[in-house]
Amino acid sequence: MSLTDRVAIVTGSGAGLGAGYARALAAAGAAVVVNDVSADAAERTAAEIRDAGGRAAVVVAPVGPSETAQQLVEVAVETFGRLDALVTNAGVLRDRSLLKMTDDDFDTVIGVHLRGTFTCVRSAWTHFKETGTAGRIVTIGSPTGQRGTFGQTNYAAAKAGIVGMVRTWALEMGRSGTTVNAVVPVAATAMTRTVPYFAAAIEAEDAGQPMPDFYRKGLGFGTTDDVAGVVVYLASEQAAGINGQVIGVGGDRLQLWSHPEPVLSLEQDGGWSADAISEVAAARIREDLQSVGERFPALPAELDRSTQAS
């Protein structure tokens, strides 16, 4: 996969998954605008890219404000002469259960994830449309946005909202040749590092060993590098025609998420009163109730660190 002569922006690319995306895009030949709120982190990623023979520029600014979005586009064009792809990865967490979540907890996460994606995509799309560029936009979703996670009201709302925007933008951008898709990554990060369920996988990664197949295949859980490939592909010219999709990736597993579809449709002459629902529909609804949240299978004994510790 060659991205030679192409230019990409990756928000939140000072560390973690974002840094992995930036390095992978650069390794494929793209010049990359690295963005982060930490100057040290952004410069570190940029230095890694340059040391490997790639090209990188740095923008230190929080995503969310329209000014940052415009600055990212301007730096790409002024430094490298063009813009071809945008990866909206920047994010923060403020996890708390609903009754403990403050207005600031909610607004901060929505501002970075949802507004940050909106403003950056709007600026990139404006440039693509004005220059006649068939651009590539890759947004980052989450299993939480697809299924929910306890204590992540704000994050779930933001990630679900991103997918909703992607489907809308695909309709608006489709005829131009620009594509916009969401990637749902499942990988070892600073957050998963603290979860006992993933301890054996993290141990293997830290030791430079392959993660056990239980994680890589059964859960689709792996490393940052396992996710980066789909981002590189969606940023390439070869991804033309793939638009408005939600693609999950992690470990050895790649998934295409469906758009929400009804699982039950009933008709009732005269419409549905509360009594009619109770008498006719309620039992059928209960038969098809949909699950919420992620349900992980039990760990094999050899991977269960809590059992071994006791």
Rounded average pLDDT over 152-173: 97
Q: What is the CA radius of gyration of the chain?
A: 21
Residue 101 contacts residue 50 (beta carbons within 8 Å)? no
Tens-digit pLDDT profile for residues 165-191: 999 999 999 999 999 999 999 998 876
- Identified catalytic residue from 21, 155, 215, 233: 155
- What is the chain's mean pLDDT, rounded? 94
**DSSP label of 187:** B
Rounded average pLDDT over 293-309: 81
The answer to whether 155 is a known catalytic residue is: yes
* 31: pLDDT strictly greater than 90: yes
Tens-digit pLDDT profile for residues 217-264: 989 999 999 999 999 999 999 999 999 999 999 999 999 999 999 999
Residue 302, C-beta contacts closer than 8 angstroms, at least 6 positions apart: 200
Residue 24 contacts residue 48 (beta carbons within 8 Å)? no
Token pair for residue 250? Answer: 């992690």
**Sign of the four-CA dihedral 69, 75, 78, 83:** negative
Percentage of the chain surpassing pLDDT 90? 86
284 vs 302: CA distance, rounded Å: 42
CA torsion 200→205→207→211, rounded to 10°?
60
Place of tokens 């230095």: 47
39 vs 301: CA distance, rounded Å: 44
Q: What is the pLDDT of residue 310?
A: 45
CB atoms within 10 A of CB 216: 20
Q: Which amino acid is at 217?
A: K
111 vs 204: CA distance, rounded Å: 35
Q: What is the DSSP string of 27-43?
A: HTT-EEEEEES-HHHHH
Percentage of the chain surpassing pLDDT 70? 98
* 307: pLDDT strictly greater than 70: no
222 vs 212: CA distance, rounded Å: 9
Tens-digit pLDDT profile for residues 62-109: 999 999 999 999 999 999 999 999 999 999 999 999 999 999 999 999
* 195: pLDDT strictly greater than 90: no
